[in-house]
Amino acid sequence: MAQELLKVENLSKIFLLSKNLLGKKEILKAVDQVSFSLDQGETLGIVGESGSGKSTLARCIMGLYPDVEGHIYFDGQDINALSPKNLHSLRPRMQMVFQDPYSSLNPRFTAGAIILESLRNLKKGKKEDQVEKVKETMELCGLSPDFYQRYPYEFSGGQRQRISIARALVTEPDLVILDEPTSALDVSIQAQIIDLLKKLQKDLGLTYIFISHDLAVVANLCHQVAVMEKGQLVETGDLENLFQNPKKDYTKRLLGAIPIDHPSKRKNSSICTKASQI
């Protein structure tokens, strides 16, 4: 039986916003009582319109915000209850690829140094071994180790995203949260990155949370899908079921937004089939 890797229970994050025109401070529930679980080796797609809370949810799971309500269990351990030392040793097992490959890479560091930084934070092993590990991971992600000394501006968008993926994978994580990893890329490069992610999952047994507003890409990669609206998960289920029998109007609207190559093909064709052809 598949083993549960991540369980999220009633997770909420409230932001205190700047004063409005009337001088009143307002609050925003960006994530509102979210619960789900994810098995080892599976991919959960999180979809929803812009501003629905997808990135905030990811950042909450990664422990990047203070004052998050609820519980996160990783490999059976309640993250909130861990000592700082145990939390530090668990961190490398959860990694995130950020939404924007341009701003998430430090322009003053070379590609190699950016990836190496993840290992240096762990303070494990000798520098030569760490550099070797970085080069191996670059190759794994389809980047030549000869690019070690190149700066982010010397790479294409797709290559930059490969650097972000290598930075996440170098610590040998179990869970990788991918926040719109392909949205800044053109369609052919998107397909290459999706193929890379699929191969890495198969070879390394990775578990993914894949955030996207692009349901065609989600259909291609995910086993489970959760639909997010105004901070809440309004519908969850396995891919085929959710795509073929969406219950909520919101999900139907999102599904209706999938591009189809020709209007004559719209009738009688299943969304999953259409999406996998894209």
Q: CB-wise, 17 or 81, nearer to Mg ion?
A: 17
CA distances from 88 to 93, 118, 165, 166 (A): 10, 12, 21, 20
DSSP lists the bridge partners of residue 116 as none
Closer of 58 and 119 to Mg ion (Cβ): 58
Nearer to Mg ion, 143 or 197 (CB): 197
Residue 101 near which of ligand ATP, Mg ion, none (CB within 5-8 Å, type-dependent): none
Residue 52 sits in the site that holds ligand ATP (CB under 6 A): yes
Q: Which is nearer to Mg ion, 39 or 100 (CB)?
A: 100
DSSP labels, 165-184? HHHHHTT--SEEEEESTTTT
Residue in 28, 184, 191, 258 binding ligand ATP, rule: CB under 6 A:
28
Q: Which residues contact 203 (CB under 8 A, 6 or more apart)?
A: none
Alpha-carbon Rg of the chain, whole angstroms? Answer: 19
Counting Cα atoms < 13 Å in the Cβ hemisphere of 213 gives: 15
Report in angstroms how near the CB of residue 258 gets to Mg ion at its nearest.
19
Q: What is the largest CA-CA distance in the chain?
A: 61
Binding segment for Mg ion among 9-17, 54-62, 67-75, 107-115 (CB under 5 A)?
Answer: 54-62
Decide if residue 55 touches Mg ion (CB under 5 A). yes
Q: Which of 11, 32, 43, 48 binds ligand ATP (CB under 6 A)?
A: 48
Is residue 15 at the binding interface for ligand ATP, with CB under 6 A as the rule? yes
Residue 58 CB, shortest distance to Mg ion, in Å, is: 8
CB under 5 to 8 A by kind: which of Mg ion, ligand ATP, none does 56 bind?
A: ligand ATP
**Window 82-121: contact mask with ligand ATP (x via CB under 6 A):** -----------------x----------------------
The residue (of 91 and 213) whose beta carbon lies closer to Mg ion is 213
How far from the centroid of its chain's Cα atoms is residue 34's Cα?
Answer: 16
For position 43 contacting ligand ATP by CB under 6 A, the verdict is no
50 binds, among Mg ion, ligand ATP, none (CB under 5 to 8 A by kind): ligand ATP
Q: Which does 191 bind (CB under 5 to 8 A by kind): ligand ATP, Mg ion, none?
A: none
Does the footprint of Mg ion cover residue 52 (CB under 5 A)? no
Binding residues (CB under 6 A) for ligand ATP: these are 15, 17, 28, 30, 48, 50-56, 99, 213
